[in-house]
Structure 1
């Protein structure tokens, strides 16, 4: 039986699934070569020994363009966006890189929650935009995940919020989050082993989808996950309390120090093990340059690609 490898993307603009599948596969091949698994690369890239798929759901999001994302938001959305930024800022303040970064982070926090108080009604969006502009002054943050403007930052954080809201039904009454999970579920092997590699918001989607999946998942890899956002994400993820999906046999969680999205990245601190005692294992990677959040940047790391190659070897028939 040919093993299946499913990539699950995160936030961002609508994309061409085939193009991104090729990008992720090439990046993984680069990382495998660097990790000493060169012989795995040709059959991976040409699809002869691995059924590689890309679970795409980006077209399901509403919200228009980035410039529209900051125009008119319901107060509930404003509060949740502010909390997402506050979670990330507080996590980064635990271990600032230097005094300058700490100063920028404190300023952004004061803009989000003046005098240490929780956000009030009326001017939340103004605070989010002000804090966003402040954070873009951090070296590298302007290019992390393509956040070239505060409008784009808000636009992409809104997608996390839209998924977790459990709303936005279609004509048949099916909520957005359910439709997204259905897209992912359709790519998983219903009977055989599936290795799952998820990025950003996709890590939340994959986590929830795998709880309803019955076939084996030899390896679950999460890249740049926002599951570490303690107030804005963790309480809204299902099922509660958070634990490793039952079919997962190994969970590796990778994070980069310069990836602002990861907030508190040590998932094993708040995700309980499953019945087989499998818990997430978090590993730090350090990418060159400022553009560290994209999935391809993670996949090209030998420390990420090596374990994926080894897991594929273990499930590929001789």
Structure 2
């Protein structure tokens, strides 16, 4: 340890547009403070939000995906053909999760939209590529446009339309693509997470969505100890989409991690639920994901701040930051 230096707390975001790192750092901190108060540790709130408890950084890599001419991006805001198979697989996994919540035989309006999206995905698989350049991408945008008819997605207010939704979901594919410029993109994103970290100081990492995939690979590269790694709304256990593309393989808990807490919401359609603890092997020290469910209010539950407001999520983070 170096003197009495504060522990380090790093937030790692998921898919989305360009971010204001300081504004989001404050948003995540406020949500975490709400959860800490709910966990019965109100005396820690000021120390957390004022920066006395930990040095808090929001690891922002959004510009690498969203800037004009960003690495590995297709021109004109179009889907890159090399991303289409991963995006198709990701949408299929989301539709499967949605169909569990709204079974086809329920006869609801939501169930009909989900079945429509499934039929559209089947068309992409069967003959989309035979229809000419760009047709598969257009059909995938039709799927995301259909899914945005669901209240939980539409009222999330994150996407102006199916094209924007598809482009942001395709960030998962762009990160996991290991070829050419895409390999450089992944390395640059992991560098954003690791930059400035001091391996002689305690570290807590809180990652969300695609950020859990980024953190998984970054922590395998990190040389210092990680007191706690928290994953929120993680797609790590989506077998055919994410799990089989992780590096290193076979998937295992990063060796420096002292504890790994994974949280999922039953209504979060992006998350691979309890399977994560079974499909990612423990580290050599025997550390593996400890998975627990949370229940958020509202229609769109796939946001980091909703997860952080839960006592069971925030409590262990605060405890890990204490001297």
TM over 0.5: yes
Shift in CA distance, 304/119, structure 1 to aligned 2, threshold 3 Å: farther
Tell me, what secondary structure is at the counterpart of 1:208? helix
Work out which of the residue numbers 149, 153, 160 in structure 1 matches 2:172: 160
1:227-306 alignment to 2 at 5 Å?
Answer: 227-264=236-273, 266-306=275-315
> Structure 1 residue 144: deviation in Å?
3.6
Work out which of the residue numbers 143, 148, 152 in structure 1 matches 2:155: 143
Tell me which residue corresponds to 1:15: 19
Q: Distance in 1 between matches of 2:21 and 2:180?
A: 23
> Structure 1 residue 89: deviation in Å?
1.5
Tell me which residue corresponds to 2:101: 96
Q: Distance in 1 between matches of 2:186 and 2:17?
A: 17
Does residue 198 in structure 1 map to residue 202 in structure 2? no
> Structure 1 residue 278: deviation in Å?
1.1
Does residue 44 in structure 1 map to residue 53 in structure 2? no
Select between 49-58 and 176-185 the one with higher mean Cα deviation. Answer: 49-58
Paired residues, number: 308
Q: Distance in 2 between matches of 1:184 and 1:81?
A: 24
- What RMSD over aligned residues (CA atoms) do the two structures have, in Å? 2.5
> Structure 1 residue 34: deviation in Å?
0.9
Q: Distance in 2 between matches of 1:163 and 1:51?
A: 27
Select between 104-113 and 145-154 the one with higher mean Cα deviation. Answer: 145-154
Tell me, what secondary structure is at the counterpart of 1:261? coil
Shift in CA distance, 10/190, structure 1 to aligned 2, threshold 3 Å: same
Q: Distance in 2 between matches of 1:115 and 1:7?
A: 36
> Structure 1 residue 70: deviation in Å?
8.4
Q: Distance in 1 between matches of 2:314 and 2:113?
A: 34
> Structure 1 residue 120: deviation in Å?
4.5
> Structure 1 residue 118: deviation in Å?
8.6
Asked whether the 8 Å contact 1:87–1:230 carries over to 2, the reply is: no
Gaps of 5+ in 1: none
Asked whether the 8 Å contact 1:168–1:176 carries over to 2, the reply is: no
Following TM superposition, where does structure 1 have runs of at least 4 consecutive aligned residues deviating by more than 4 angstroms? 62-65, 68-71, 115-121
> Structure 1 residue 115: deviation in Å?
10
Using the size of structure 1 for normalisation, the TM-score is: 0.88
